[in-house]
Structure formats: C-alpha cells, structure tokens
Structure 1
Amino acid sequence: MTASPRPGILVVDDEPRSVEVIARVLDEDFDVHTALSAEEALRLLETEWIQIVFSDQRMPEVSGVEFLTEVRERWPEVVRIVITGYIDPEDIIGAINTAGIHQFITKPWHPDHLLLTARNAARLYQLQREHDRLSGELKLLTPVAESRVVTRRERVAQHYRFDSLVRAPGSPVDAVCRKAAQVAGFNVPVLVLGETGTGKELLARAIHYGSPRSDRPFYAENCGAIPDELLESELFGHKKGAFTGAHSTRIGLLEQADGGTIFLDEIGDISPAFQVKLLRFLQEGEIRPVGSNETRTVDVRVLAATHRDLPAEVRAGRFREDLYYRLATMTLTMPPLRDRPADIPVLARNLLERLSAAHGKPVAGFTDETLACLEGYGWPGNVRELQNEIMRMLVLCEGDRLGAELLSDTVLRGAAMSAHAPPAGAGGDAAALEALAQGGPLKTRIERVEAGILLETLVRCRWNKSRAADELGLSRMGLRAKLERYGIERAATAQRH
C-alpha cells in the first residue's frame, strides 16, 4: 500500500457517468480512485491508501450500506459516506448503527457541497489518527511518567539527605544531624533554632526527606515576611470574594501539603492573634479557609524555625506558652558559622562550584590567603553572607583564582582585626571595638587596632607595600618598621593553609 501526499478517496457506483462526474469534482484536492462494483472497491482498499469512501446506496450486488458495513469491519478508520436519492429515516438510523456512516449526501448534489463534505471527511480522518496516536502514547506514558517521578523524587531525596549538609569532618553540625535523623521517622513537630542564614530550612528539608512522608509534598512559608491576613490566606486558603482582591478560590498550603510536611520559618514573628489560629490547627488538625464556614481535616507535619529566643519571648508574654510546647516537641539548634570555622573553607569551595556553574564562569578556586581571611571573619550573616561575598568575588574576578584583593572591606577588616584581637568571629567595626575592649593600657589597645589596619590594607593591596604605604600616608621605611614591630608577614595570613 502506497501513501499519496494528497488524501485518498474511493468513489463506488455502478453508473460510470456518475463516477466520472464525482471524480472530476474531487480530483483537484484529492487522489481519486474509482470502482464500478463493491468487489472492485474492496480490491482497491487492499492495495491503496484510502481515507474516504463515497458509495452509492443502490448497486446491483449489494447495497451501499452493506458494502460500507464490511469496510467498517476491515478498515474502521476509513470515513464512510453514502450518496443516495432515497432518504428514509429508518434507513438512516440503520445505516448509522450498522455501517457507522459519517454522512448522507442526497441526489442531486451540488459540487461545492460535495467538495466541502470531502474536505471535512479528510480532516476527520486526520483527527481520528491523531487521537489514536495520542491514546497509544498515553498508554505508554503512564508507566514512563511514574518512573520519571520516582527517579526525580529519589534525586531530590539524595540532594537533601543529612549527608548533603556541607560541612567539614568533626563539624558541630554532625551532632545536630544525628539528632535530626533520629527524630525524622517520628510524626512529631520539630522546632529548629538558630541565627539567620545558618541553614535551618535545609535541615528541615533533610528531616522531611528522611521521614516516611518523603514521597509527599514539602512546602515552606516565611511567616515573618507577610502580614496576618495574607499569611492566613496562604496557609488556610480562602473562598472567592472573602476579601477585596479574592477573585478566585485559593487552596492553602496546609491543604496542599496534606500527607506531607510544612516548614514555617520565622515562627517567632507571628502576631498573638495568628498564634491562636495556628494553635487550633495544631490541636485539631483542622483548617477553615477565609470566608468559609466549613472545616477540613488535613494530615500535615509541622516543622518550625526561628532566630528568636522563644523561651524568652514566652516569659515576656509575646509568644503563647501552649503554642511553644506544641511546636517544641523536639528542638534542634543550628550553630552559627563563627562557631564552626573549619566548615568555612568547605562551604566556600562548595558555594563557588555551584555559583560558577550557574553563571557560566569557571574558576580554579581560592588562594590560601583568601581562605585564611574567610576563616578569620565572623560572618554575622552566616552562610547567606558567605554566599553573597563569594558571588561578589566571582563577578569581579578576572583571573583563574579568587584572590584576597577581591574581598570586601568589611571582610578584610574583620579578618585583619581577628588576627590581632583573639576573640575570633566578630567582623568589621565590632572587631575593632573588641580589640579596644581587651585589657591593658591605652597604648596597647591602640596598637592592636593599628596592626589590624596594617594587615587589612596589605591584603587589599595584594601585599604591594608601596601602594599600602601610600594609602596609609607612610613612607616605605616607616611601613616596614611597623610590620617588623608587630610581626606581620604575608605567610602569617595563610598559616592555616
């Protein structure tokens, strides 16, 4: 069977003149085949790619309906049309039921009507084939889609497992992860404490993907970023028209997370009024969308986090004690970056790898001097601040490594101060204040600050002593004397590496 670029039509009639006229009308748009009997038509159907059959109803051997009934059984996709001069309602119903007739054309027919019918029939044939193709694809798609979902779910779970929290061997985060892994399998609320940017949400995701709910949804909401009205709508949903701007019904995150986990970040910032609504949900497991009188039961595990001291907030009357105990069945604390300096180089390399890949700017890594400065700074903004600093350096970098001269003044100053003011961790002006607060006479305290300024300037000037001396308003000999006095050497800044 050969396919033609034009739709194939078979015209069947025992009247040669009738066949010739129909063929002439259709020949411009279609590949027309003709037959003067049902037997001849069946042979053509076996050898040619026929999409539409026009058959006369009255033929000597068999009727058009009888012939088209056989066509339906053998070639069900072919569109079948009867041409007749006799229309009886019962015949029409019978023909539709037995032969699946698409359309009746009455004699005498008009050429334009005949051509339009043929074009519509060709379109119908293509739609039927497309429908059959898509139906077959859908049958295959279900197991393929399920397999893809399972594969992606496993990849996500691998990405958020406890081992994926980047840290150095022996990090204080190890103890937190061990405790979190123990509680992950129990369906109890967990309160994660820690400063902003310490990775509380990453820990919450690891708990979810390490729990029996890992194949169900995980949603995160920052409760401190939006007012009560919007927060209630976000979590509980709302009905259309419940308030100005509610143009459609919204399903809240708690209902969307049914069977899974929701992470409520900055839970310590919610108002006393909303604390009551959240407590009711935790006690009853029920939600009521804004503007609705109906309650719905949902099964959601709640993980919460805050940078605030919640017990102090409870004592001050700003946070409900009963809500606190509902949330704090298990409490975990993420340590700040200043308490885990060994993690800083590991985190920095990991962040640089991800950022350089995301922005298409590959670099080999950090200089030892840069890593020493990163370790010496206190990072009050924790991992989030570290990420921003590395992103800034990557943008400014013109070589294959991120040198210390790319560091911001805040980080350089803080690292320099910490080198001569032992309480490690404070950055910027805080480091200077701590240096001054150290014991000893005034001269000693001022010398500590002076040593920090010298070191910060040298690092920023890439140890070009002439530039540093010029910036500080010193002679080169004067700068050298001060460096010898304070024992400042370039190797000292990279002694940990």
Structure 2
Amino acid sequence: MSPAQPLPVVLVVDDEVRSQDALRRTLDEDFVVLTASGAEQARVHLERQEVSVILCDQRMPGLTGVAFLKEVRERWPDTVRIVISGYTDSEDIIAGINDAGIYQYILKPWIPQHLLGTVRNAAEARTLQRDMNRLDLELRTSTPVLRQRAERKLDRARATFDFDRIERLAGSPMDAVCALAERIARVDLSVLVQGESGTGKELLARAMHYASPRAAGAFVVENCAALTDTLLESELFGHKRGAFTGAFEDHVGLFQRAHGGTIFLDEIGETSPAFQLRLLRVLQEGEVRPVGATRVVPVDVRVIAATHRDLEQRVRDGLFREDLYYRIACVTFTVPPLRERSGDIGPIARRLLAEIAPALGRGAVRLGDDAMAALLAYPWPGNIRELRNEISRAVALSEGEEMGAAAFSSRVLRGQAGRSVQTQAHAQALPSSGTLAERLDAVEAMLLRETLLRHHWNKTRAALELGLSRVGLRGKMKRFGLED
C-alpha cells in the first residue's frame, strides 16, 4: 500500500476571529488550516512552511487583501491566491486579477460546499501547475519520454470525456444527439448547443473537443453571462497594460490560450449587441485585438457556443445579431431536458452517487427502490445540475448503505406525491367494465396521451419513447382521436 499523501496547507488571513473559525470548520477535514489576523502573521506562516492555497479577506486594517496577495505573488508565486470579500467593487476585482493574479474572487456570505469545492480545485490546480513545471524541465533533456507521457494523458482525457461516458439508456433521446455530435466533432465547424440550464451542454462540448483533431489543444470555458462587457472582452481577448483603470500588466485572453484548441462560450445569448459585434469580427478575421493594443494577434480556435435561449427568436426580436448567429450556428444541437428522458435518470443518479459518496467521505451507497421512485417522479426543472445537488444533499444526510427517499428534499417528495395522486386519478378514470379489447384500448389511449403531453406533443420524441415510427404513432393518434 502506498503511503498516504500529506494534506495540502491552506492559510486563512482574516482579521475577524469568527470568520477564521467558520473557514477552519469548513476546510479542516480536507486541509491543514493555518490562520492569521493580518499580513504580518501571514508572512510568518509563509516563511516557515509551504502553503498550497491562501484565502485572504479584502478589507482588513492596514494592508488590503489584494495588496498583500500582490506581495505573495512576487515572493511565493506557487501559492494559489483567493480573495474573500463582502464588496463587489469592480476595480477591486480587476486589481485582484491583474496585480495579485488571484485564482478566484469569492463573495460573502459564502456557501460552505461551494467554497470547499473552490479550494479543492485550487489545490489541485497548484499540484498540476507544479507537475507541468517539472515536465517543462524534463522537456529540455527528455523530449521523447515527455511526448509519450503527454500522449498517455491525452488518451486518458479522451477516455474520460468519451461520448459513451455521457450516461444514458439505450434508446435515449441523447443517443441521436451524441451520434451526430461525434460525427461533427471531426469537422472543424462552429457549433451551437441549445438546451435548458443544467442539461450537460458543457459535457457534450468537452466530448466533441476530445473527439476532434484539436484534442491535444486546450479546452477553455467562459460563461458570458457572468461578466460585464468590459471584463468579458478583457477575459476573452486580453488587454495591454494601462488599457483601463486597474490594468497594471498585460493579460493574455482566452482566445489566445485556446490557440489550436477549442473555446466554449456558455450563455452566449446573454451578451450585448456591442460585444456581439466584436466577437463577430474575431470569428470572421481569425484574430483578436487585445484591449488597448495596436496590433492584432492571429488565433486558430474552434468555437462551441451554448445557450438556454431561443436564439432564432432573439434574432427576430433584434436582441441577437443575425450575422453572428449564422457564424456560430453552422451546426446546432439541442440537449433535451431531463424530464424528456426520464429513462436516463437512473443511470445518471447512480453515476453521480458513485462520484459524490467518496468525495463526502462515505463508503458504498446505493439507491433504495423508494429513492429511485422519488427521483423518477420529480420533473427536475434544474435538470442534471439539480439532480447532482439533490444527490449530494441526500448523501450528506443519509446513513447506512442504502439511501431512502426520506433523505431527499421536500420538493422532490412533493413531486412524488403529486405523481401518486395523478396515478390514482388515472386508475379511477380507466373503465371497470367492457370487453378486454375495449379496456386495453383505454389503457393504450391513456399511455399515448401521457407520452405526448410529456414531450409537449413532439411526435418524434414520443414515437422514440414508445418504440413506434412516426407513421405508426400518427395512426394510433388518429385511431384514438388524439390528433393535434
């Protein structure tokens, strides 16, 4: 058995003792947590031992968090820097990104699970960065060995994000989506992925990247709804020192970082017309001009965009540029919501459970029959993201190897109760007399109507779920008087 790896060290810098205690309680199971009331105490810790991540309050007596983290960046550059603040001053955020090179800017009041996940990712990022630095050193003396390692890592990434790893049952509506996406992945065209929030659009985009000839390049992600136009342009296209207040050094944008790879622009439907024009020029010309720069930089990037909006309708409403729409939507996919592929809930839930239980310190946990029934009865308006949160909550609250429905939130249980009432109403509506053929026809008509309603009268999806052709479905609809 290999020896256990030492826990990463996290340094919390905050002048409020209660904040220190709250952060310690959130982090101390996964990290060695050190605390400091200000910059002076923090320097002592940093000089004595190696610190993986530093969490620093922005507003402190004396030196501000960003000013102190700028010093950390210069003296201890390998330490990942995170700012925690109750204020949303954009200049603080920009200064933190530019001066202190912060990894994340977390707003108070923070959510324990989100903060813990952020710090875990930061510690992992530091480990990966150190590995990359070591590989860069080896590159000078051992290029063939490094190339083999890179190829093995690429193979592992391809296996991890393979289309087959997108959980679904045979015959799922996702089968057709994945089959077409896998074919298009090999062709260097821009792609638009549509679907409700939480349906797994980024996962599909990542699978396309690793199935494409660009797999060895970077896959970078930006949520276009999360930033203002100014910050979004800086993040995507980069900026030069002095381009605006707080731009104290050059910043390389994500388009340049994705050169030779893929950039995933999530929630592109939320962008302003002014930003859309700038993005259109980048896509047309294949080059970016960082904010404040006089020269353009060529970029070779495949764009996969995503939105939960109906972009065609937004084009008609004058909210989205038609020319940009046709530029990004060479091929369009629609990821169906979870309620339209209820057969996939079981495989997805079991996969999430296998990932989440070990991460929360639990052993093997399985879903009881009543738990699975509750999951299948709920419509999941938040889709897979909501399902993940519900599984996480249930794992944390349940005990034993089998997880029952009682561990789920009240809204999921209300969904199950509503479905039970609906089922009872259907049972009461069925005829209790008549010939066997008449009673079977009534059952078939009810099943047909339920399926059509669930799929909003989309005949293709309804026929797929029922195992019928569209012609066969139309024949049955006519027979039972269900024509729309």
The alignment's TM-score, normalised by the length of structure 1, stands at 0.57
Structure 1 residue 274 and structure 2 residue 275: aligned?
yes
- Residue number in structure 2 paired with 1:30: none
TM superposition shift of 1:147: 2.0
Structure 1 residue 289 and structure 2 residue 290: aligned?
yes
Q: Secondary structure at the match of 2:342?
A: coil
TM superposition shift of 1:357: 2.0
Structure 1 residue 162 and structure 2 residue 160: aligned?
no
- Residue number in structure 1 paired with 2:174: 173
CA shift in 2, pair 1:203/1:422, >3 Å:
farther
CA shift in 2, pair 1:191/1:296, >3 Å:
same
Instruction: Write out per-residue CA displacement over residues 238-291 of structure 1, whole angstroms, 9 at most, x where no aligned residue.
Output: 001111111110110101111111000000000010000001111111110001
Q: Secondary structure at the match of 1:281?
A: helix
Q: In 1, distance between residues paired with 2:344 and 2:138?
A: 50
CA shift in 2, pair 1:378/1:191, >3 Å:
same
Structure 1 residue 394 and structure 2 residue 395: aligned?
yes
Q: Which amino acid aligns with 1:317?
A: G
Contact 2:138 2:146 in 1 (8 A): no
TM superposition shift of 1:150: 1.4
- Residue number in structure 2 paired with 1:328: 329
Instruction: Write out per-residue CA displacement over residues 77-134 of structure 1, whole angstroms, 9 at most, x where no aligned residue.
Output: xxxxxxxxxxxxxxxxxxxxxxxxxxxxxxxxxxxxxxxxxxxxxxxxxxxxxxxxxx
TM superposition shift of 1:366: 0.7
Spell out the pairing of 1:39-118 with structure 2 (5 A cutoff).
none
- Residue number in structure 1 paired with 2:343: 342
CA shift in 2, pair 1:145/1:233, >3 Å:
same
- Residue number in structure 2 paired with 1:200: 201
Q: Secondary structure at the match of 1:383?
A: helix
The alignment's TM-score, normalised by the length of structure 2, stands at 0.58
Q: Secondary structure at the match of 2:333?
A: strand
- Residue number in structure 2 paired with 1:186: 187
Q: In 2, distance between residues paired with 1:228 and 1:140?
A: 45
Q: Secondary structure at the match of 2:303?
A: strand
Instruction: Write out per-residue CA displacement over residues 158-187 of structure 1, whole angstroms, 9 at most, x where no aligned residue.
Output: 111111111112111000001101111111
Q: Secondary structure at the match of 1:188?
A: coil
Q: Which amino acid aligns with 1:322?
A: D
Q: In 2, distance between residues paired with 1:321 and 1:178?
A: 28
Q: In 1, distance between residues paired with 2:175 and 2:411?
A: 30
Q: Which runs of 5+ in 2 are unaligned?
A: 1-136, 430-484
Instruction: Write out per-residue CA displacement over residues 289-340 of structure 1, whole angstroms, 9 at most, x where no aligned residue.
Output: 0011111111111000000011111111101111111111100000000001
RMSD: 2.1
TM superposition shift of 1:422: 6.2
Q: Which runs of 5+ in 1 are unaligned?
A: 1-135, 424-434, 440-497
- Residue number in structure 1 paired with 2:372: 371
TM superposition shift of 1:389: 0.3
- Residue number in structure 2 paired with 1:359: 360
Q: Secondary structure at the match of 1:343?
A: helix
Quick one: percent identity of the two aligned structures? 54
TM superposition shift of 1:359: 2.3
- Residue number in structure 2 paired with 1:314: 315
Q: In 2, distance between residues paired with 1:188 and 1:363?
A: 43
TM superposition shift of 1:142: 3.2
TM superposition shift of 1:400: 1.3
- Residue number in structure 2 paired with 1:412: 413
- Residue number in structure 1 paired with 2:386: 385
CA shift in 2, pair 1:138/1:302, >3 Å:
closer
Q: Secondary structure at the match of 2:245?
A: coil
CA shift in 2, pair 1:286/1:375, >3 Å:
same
Q: Secondary structure at the match of 2:222?
A: strand
TM superposition shift of 1:220: 0.8
TM superposition shift of 1:364: 2.9
